[in-house]
Amino acid sequence: MGKSPCGGPRLARPQRMRRSTAGNITAMPSQDLPPAQSAPTPSSPVVNAAGAHDAMATGAMSSLPLPGAVASARSSRWALYWRLARLHRPIGTLLLLWPTLWAVWLAADGRPDAWTVFVFCAGTLLMRSAGCVMNDIADARFDPHVKRTRDRPLATGEVARREALVLAGVLSLLAFGLVLTLNALAIALAFVALFLAASYPLTKRILPIPQAYLGVAFGFGIPMAYAAQLGMLPAECGWMLLANITWAIGYDTEYAMVDRDDDLLIGIRSSAITFGRFDVLAVMVSYAITLGLLSSIGQARGIGVGYYAGLAVAALMMGWHYRLIRSRSREGCFRAFNHNNWVGAAIFAGVVIGLQ
């Protein structure tokens, strides 16, 4: 062993062998070679550092959400907001929309402009959705104890109260943006409508028949429709709002009959509890008053016979509701409530035809 040029030990290279002309094997002189580098072993620092780096990278990658998972989470969040705003159940929107359209057509004498119709249709959808969110915020402590409402996103904790407040605010602002295209009286009435929508849930703790207050809140599109097109509120507007109040007492008492047992348990007030064993009679009387008021409006306006045909169809439907609710079964009462959509549609068809 000699020394390398750098002063380190130098290994002697094994001698190379060659065959002589006589066939004998002879050794070739050895030449000095640089020391061979050994391959790193699994236990070497190089391998350990690389392995640790790979492990850290793998862990970091596994902690990051995959794009598909992010998209799925966002989609499920929007689905919760959709349910919170009750967009999957349009019956509430339709019960607001029909009396609003009655007023839009009557105030315009059967010829409303397309923009006004759009504003009231879209505004009804937005404000009904905002009202549902406000209602669930107010009832967050009660809904988990009611069979029909225990699966709502706020009741289950899937949506936070802060999120619900933001959603209600956004929906209300969008509706108000539409109202800003109307006249000053309609804009002023929009603030009253917002107050009614926000305060209605509280009336279920105070009023013996909160359904009457609901009729005002659900029917406030009526005075707004007259204001937007006439710039004033004629007496006809007041009678139509009263007709909507009695109609709401009728159909929402059917709705309250579904929840009566749960409402008694948690201390919520409703017309079904107030009317007691006279609940079915109260529904039918409310329907009769509604038809009477609407008939009087038609006579005062001199509306054509088609209007009364629509009222007659609505009366037949209301009579069928009696058969559904007289046993007071949950299924029958809920079916009658939902069927009021067609009652409102029949009356609207009568208004359109009668004003031709």
For residue 109, count CB atoms less than 10 angstroms from its CB and return exposed for 0-12, middle for 13-18, buried for 19 or more.
exposed
Residue 221 is predicted with a pLDDT of: 96
pLDDT for position 92: 92
Structural domain boundaries in the chain? 78-354
Query: Contact, 201 vs 168, CB < 8 A?
Result: no
Give the pLDDT of residue 263. Answer: 87
Is the pLDDT at 82 greater than 60? The verdict is yes
- In this prediction, residue 146 carries a pLDDT of 83
125-148: pLDDT as tens digits: 999 999 999 999 988 888 888 888
More confident residue, 11 or 303: 303
CA 346 to chain centre: 27
pLDDT tens, residue by residue, 309-334: 999 999 999 999 999 999 999 999 99
pTM of the model: 0.77
φ and ψ at residue 35, rounded to 5 degrees:
-60, 135
Q: Do 226 and 232 touch, CB atoms closer than 8 A?
A: yes
Q: Does position 65 have pLDDT exceeding 60, yes or no?
A: no
pLDDT surpasses 70 at 43: no
Please give the CATH topology (third level) of the domain spanning 78-354: Tetracycline Repressor; domain 2 (1.10.357)
Chain centroid to Cα 307, Å, comes to 35
Residues 6+ apart with CB under 8 A from 202: 138
Measured between alpha carbons, how far is 180 from 112 in angstroms, rounded to an integer?
18
pLDDT at 40 over 50: no
